Structure 1
């Protein structure tokens, strides 16, 4: 699903939004491929992918367990909380 990420408290007009895209997971930890509205659970987990390699260091400094953010596509789609960070190396 192509939605962007906004850190909680940041202003999208000032700090901008970030290309960190989610793969939403089902109850068994498998990626949900059909992202048609209504097929996506209202609560759950997602793998998140930082798309721009040159921004990895920036996100490495900001993304921690407990970091709050927003999935953003022209406005807020969902509130999210980081529960685990894997493979975000610089």
Structure 2
């Protein structure tokens, strides 16, 4: 499995504590690593397009990425990866802060709750890297 760090060549933007909804809460039946859900800040409205392409990479109890094909626990921690580099500072640089809450989204449907625990590379990742 190639981790997002290996694939993208930089550190995660931030880390979150998450809780995925169970099937009885209208959540997914099962979730695997590299789920391509969207992210929404708690105060935003998905019906107004307030969704962002920020993908999670779920971590095991040691803080390592969970392997492909292994079911992700309903609660845990994940690294978060902003896919649109132009939005790092223009949007997320001021909004993503420790303690900010949000949701994992599939379309307009919430599938989990998150709370930002740590800002990692958000500000450094926004600096353009020289071409090789």
Q: 1:47 aligns with which of 79, 103, 116?
A: 79
| Moved segments of 4+, more than 6 Å | none
Aligned length: 88
Higher relative contact order, chain-length normalized (CA < 8 Å, sep 6+)? 2
Partners of 2:67 and 2:39 in 1: how far apart?
A: 20
For the pair shown, the structure with the greater C-alpha radius of gyration is: 2
Given the two structures, how large is their TM-score scaled by the length of structure 1?
A: 0.90
Task: Give the aligned CA root-mean-square deviation in angstroms.
Answer: 1.3
Given the two structures, how large is their TM-score scaled by the length of structure 2?
A: 0.63
Match of residue 100 from structure 2: 67
- In structure 2, stretches of 5+ residues that fail to align are 1-34, 127-132
Match of residue 21 from structure 1: 55
Deviations 1:28-80 (A, max 9, x none): 111113356xx111111000001101100110110000010000012111000
Higher helix proportion: 2
